[in-house]
Amino acid sequence: MNKAKTIRILGIETSCDETSVAILNVTFDTRNVTSRRSDVERITNHTSRVTLSKHLIATQIPTHARYGGVVPEVAARMHVAETVSLLDKTLGWSSTPKAPFNKGGIEGGINLIAVTQGPGLATALRVGLDAAKTLSWVYGKPVHGINHLEGHMASAWLVPANRKNWKFPILFLLVSGGHSELVLMTDFGKYKVLGRTRDDAAGEAFDKTAKMLGLEYPGGPKLSKLAEKGNPKAFDLPRPMIHDPSLDFSFSGLKTAVRQLVEGRPGRLGRIGRVEDMCASIQAAIVETLVSKTIRAALKVKPKAVAVVGGVSANPKLKADLKAALKKNCPGIKLLAPAKGLYTDNGAMIAAAGYWQILSKRKPSSIKNIDAQPDLDL
Ligand code: KG4
Ligand code: ZN
């Protein structure tokens, strides 16, 4: 007899410059209901099948690149158009015009709606929240407001091999355009921030220095590509706070050092040597700082695994150096990372974090009170 149960979660992400909608299906075996194992243990067993039946991402990057960075008002307007369009494509409204919410649609089995509540741009967040609240109100489905940072953490959980190694505590290096944090996850929904940036985030350090070198927004990926052909020792750039016993980061000194080398010189790049060398030196400074603090934290808290998540986890050197440093200093501790394509903002990770709300037994949000929380922390 089939004892499988599936939970279907609609994930909506509109916190910054990507609109994304996903449907995540988690299927688990209900046969052991009477066993002594807890519900959470049973439904997080790695034999649970976690699949994405839909996942669409609409990026606004080409538009914001024209302005050199994200323009909040433009972002919000684009989210309005894209959210409706992606929900339509995901839920199949236009393909079944007469019965738009039947089979495959929201009434066909979505169990809950997960939507990013913060941190992020207030006006952008409100677009996703309003869509989620409307769907919840019309179809009677519960809504969970999701912390975008928890979403990034859940992006690593979406990888089947990572779920096999999902044993607490897990140390997260969470590095995105807006955040750089070291977080200890002791259970689903239980987080302790061990260290964070005191000024710029790692992604911001990549983007701002890349801008000084004339690279288009967001410069992080472009800088990291150019760095592959450069000499990381060409410029002696600061690694701020690397010897500080705290687990905090600081990247503004690096930004200033690069500015002093680059600005005020005619012919900018020509005067500082090969741009590839500068990119490699900047990348080395950021990566070395992140790796050193992560190892310091791992030695202190002795996690069962280390995970690197957020847009900057797309950086190949960061992952390679972190893996090598773990092997040397903390043998046996695995490095978990998201799958390609899920490093930066996406709806799948928000849906996955929606499932984590069930695992941590959190109550749904009230659609009357749920609002954007631009500065939400873990
Ligand atoms: O997580 P994310 O999509 O957005 C935030 O939540 O902030 O991260 C975007 C950040 C940007 O700063 C971008 O430059 C950076 O991730 N990023 C990279 C790479 N790919 C994306 N930074 C360094 N190397 C990369 N390959
Ligand atoms: Zn993000």
Instruction: Write down the pLDDT at residue 272.
Output: 57
Distance from Cα 13 to the centre of ligand 2, integer Å: 9
Task: Check if the beta carbon of residue 60 is closer than 8 Å to that of residue 50.
Answer: no
Instruction: Write down the pLDDT at residue 99.
Output: 41
What pTM was computed for the model? 0.93
* Pick from 165, 213, 148: nearest CA to 344: 148
Rounded CA-CA distance 127/142 in Å is: 18
Q: Which atom of ligand 1 is nearest to the CA of 201?
A: 12
* Ligand 1 neighbourhood includes 13 CB (under 6 angstroms): no
Q: How many CA atoms lie within 13 A of 374 on its CB side?
A: 8
- φ, ψ dihedrals at 12, nearest 5°: -130, 125
Token pair 């927004």 is found at: 217
Instruction: Write down the pLDDT at residue 262.
Output: 84
Q: How many CA atoms lie within 13 A of 263 on its CB side?
A: 11
Q: What angle do CA 182, 357, 204 make, to 5 degrees?
A: 35
Instruction: Write down the pLDDT at residue 106.
Output: 65
* Pick from 323, 359, 305: nearest CA to 156: 305
Instruction: Write down the pLDDT at residue 186.
Output: 97
Which segments of the chain have a pLDDT < 50?
32-35, 97-102, 266-267
* Ligand 1 neighbourhood includes 180 CB (under 6 angstroms): no
- Which residues, listed in sequence order, are joined to residue 5 by a DSSP beta bridge? 28
Task: Check if the beta carbon of residue 164 is closer than 8 Å to that of residue 44.
Answer: no
